[in-house]
Structure 1
């Protein structure tokens, strides 16, 4: 079991979203260099002042590559620590060489498990422990203090591993939300295609019956077959283009749509007043878009009930335009804590993107929370919903 865990750790890839260098890195470097300059200039008991200052500056510069080259930076930093300790031992200096600002090496210890691969983590941890063991042997520090120092050294690494695990778990949950949203959309598209195919079969049967006695009626039936076939082909193209995961389950009940919004907005009762306004021609929307509008309103109203502190009203607007349908949901409550999208909004964004539209969510201009979505009702040549070219 332990061997399998080590093999899994060794083959763990690096996080794919590691930023190379951002403005915070330069700010951190400036602060560290300023601290080095102050300590090297004002502190009186510095041993080998020029060497200690150059060593500290070198550690500060290593911070710039801590995400892109975490193993190399750790190896350089702790290798330099060992060399400095050996030089101090050879020179028979009784006092430690270095500045207190050299503690920036802890940032490299944090970055190793946060941004490194499994191989980097194993080799980097071995280098850190080897450097600490060598320094502990050459130092006269009591064992209790050495244990405290080891814990202090490894603590940033444990924090980095925890942050990485949390981020990976959240991304995995996001993937599951996207997968469920795609599966539900596939069910809805399956219902639509099944409806069209049934209509095709009925019209074809009618045309065969009327072919001998009423040719005109048979031709009309064939035109209906052609129309239904074109619609079916559009839905199938949309399914293939939008969905890469085609897991269609057994639950194929007709999806809720705009016609069900009146019943939905009555659900909150006295807890929250929902002002629903429907404008435009909303009866002829594609079934997938119709279901998406319902889901957006449902999730937004549910979020307002759960998270909007002091909210008394939610305004829901669904407007049909020539080639798009716009959905707007706003509440008049207050949001507490850090603003961040939940899994429900992530699923809605995925659904809107699959249909060729967009969804935005965030704080309102004065107060409350607003969700705005724009979904195209026309088709592109590839089958996904989009505005036709003018």
Structure 2
């Protein structure tokens, strides 16, 4: 829909410019001198409207039309080209190419646009107004194309630094996770040796426990190593601290924490992701929602998934506009959640305030621990006024 509105607006602009230019040519030159320039401008306008289908070739075709228009104006003593309509079309075509094409092609189109602007002097006009018009259109294309391109590159670089930080943190904590699982295997193997001496009939059960612990260790290691190897998609698990301690030290508005009954026991990578997601959400509230008076952190567990939701009640008038654009904190959270096969959403709530919601799948083993699958939260209120 947005592209249609842009195309409609651009089409109206071309029509107005060409009509005005044709009227001025008729008024000053008379006769049919307006036809060649308006035809060339109309062709460039059509190319600009369909540029998204082939940005390189439409830009090349537009410059070719401009070159022919300059040559015809020179040979037949016509009004100087490129005129305003053709200059507008070239500006759109060159700017679009500079914004989206690979660097070598974009550089070639930009150089070609400058050559056309300078070549306008070859059309035979003794006035510098034509040169100024075309150089101005080329500079506008340069700004409209390179500006968004450089901004997008900067955003991509910052997002990549966030991902690199996640990978480095994952590498630092990989040892702890692997050591935990391997330690379990070693302890069960030692226990099996004792059982073999005292009660050989129970050796099969001990071996089954060792096999299960080894399978868990292998699955966790594969998940972690897979995150490291996956290009552009790392996620990490954070420190295994209790969520109660995290919200208790929150320096923002009061927090209500709802957790499943019992002692939650999740795989290390899931527990760490939950902790980091809540931590980042609370940090965003402290920074970007000064009008919030209450925060709710809710963690619920089903048979196969874990749902984490952090909400606040800050009205839109107290919401920092910078937060509405997302932010790079969400990049890290989304990387973590999606790398574990989950999904994350963040945005304003219909009833007011802001919500961050993540759904994390739980592995078949070790996901629920001693916690009932049907457990649904007990509220724990914290004042949230401690030092961070």
Structure 2 residue aligned with 1:195: 180
Change (3 A) 1:281 1:38: farther
Check conservation: 2:296, 2:311, Cα contact below 8 A.
yes
1:345 match? 330
User: Structure 1 residue 31: deviation in Å?
Assistant: 1.9
Partner secondary structure for residue 367 of structure 1: coil
Give the distance between the partners of 1:125 and 1:230, measured in 2 at CA. 58
- The residue number in structure 1 matching 2:57 is 72
Matched, 1:295 2:276: yes
1:131 corresponds to which of 107, 111, 116: 116
The Cα shift of 1:71 comes to 3.7
Equivalent position to 2:127, from 141, 149, 160? 141
Number of residue equivalences: 350
Q: Which residue, 43, 46, 57 being the options, matches 1:58?
A: 43
Q: How does 1:201-240 map to 2 (within 5 A)?
A: 201-216=186-201, 218-240=203-225
Q: Trace 1:298-317 onto structure 2 (pairs within 5 A).
A: 298-317=279-298
Structure 1's unaligned 5+ residue stretches are 1-20, 247-251, 381-390
Higher relative CO (Cα under 8 Å, sequence separation at least 6) belongs to 2
SS in 2 for 1:82: helix
Q: Distance in 1 between matches of 2:130 and 2:80?
A: 16
- C-alpha change, 1:148 and 1:37, in structure 2 (3 Å) is closer
Counterpart of 1:261 in structure 2 is: 243
1:147 and 1:26 mapped to 2: Cα distance? 27
Structure 1 position 360, deviation (Å): 0.3
- Equivalent of 1:89 in 74, 78, 85: 74
Q: How does 1:1-390 map to 2 (within 5 A)?
A: 22-24=3-5, 26-35=7-16, 38-39=19-20, 44-45=26-27, 48-93=33-78, 95-96=79-80, 100-102=84-86, 103-137=88-122, 138-142=124-128, 146=131, 150-185=135-170, 187-188=172-173, 190-216=175-201, 218-245=203-230, 255-257=238-240, 260-269=242-251, 271-280=252-261, 283-333=264-314, 334-337=318-321, 339-379=324-364
Corresponding position of 1:13: none
RMSD after superposition: 3.1
In 2, Cα distance between the equivalents of 1:58 and 1:326?
A: 56
How far apart, in 2, do the equivalents of 1:226 and 1:97 lie?
80
**1:336 Cα offset (Å):** 3.3
Offset of residue 242 of structure 1:
4.4
- Cα separation, 1, equivalents of 2:100 and 2:334: 28
Query: 1:70 and 1:155, CA in 2 relative to 1: closer, same or farther beyond 3 A?
Result: same
| CA deviation vs aligned residue, 1:143-191 (integer Å, no higher than 9, x gap) | x984685255223213411321221221132233234334434555543
SS of residue in 2 equivalent to 1:268: coil
d(CA) in 2 for partners of 1:46, 1:106 = 26
Shift in Å, 1:30: 3.2
CA distance in 2, matches of 1:232, 1:25: 55
Please give the per-residue CA displacement for 1:359-385, whole angstroms capped at 9, x wherever unaligned. 1000121322110111111349xxxxx
Q: CA deviation at 1:58?
A: 0.5
Contact 1:335 1:369 in 2 (8 A): no
Q: Residue 188 and residue 379 in structure 1: after superposition, are their counterparts in 2 closer, same or farther (change >3 A)?
A: farther
The alpha-carbon deviation at position 352 of structure 1 amounts to 0.8
User: How high is the TM-score relative to the length of structure 1?
Assistant: 0.78
Give the stretch that moved more between structures: 317-326 or 147-156.
147-156
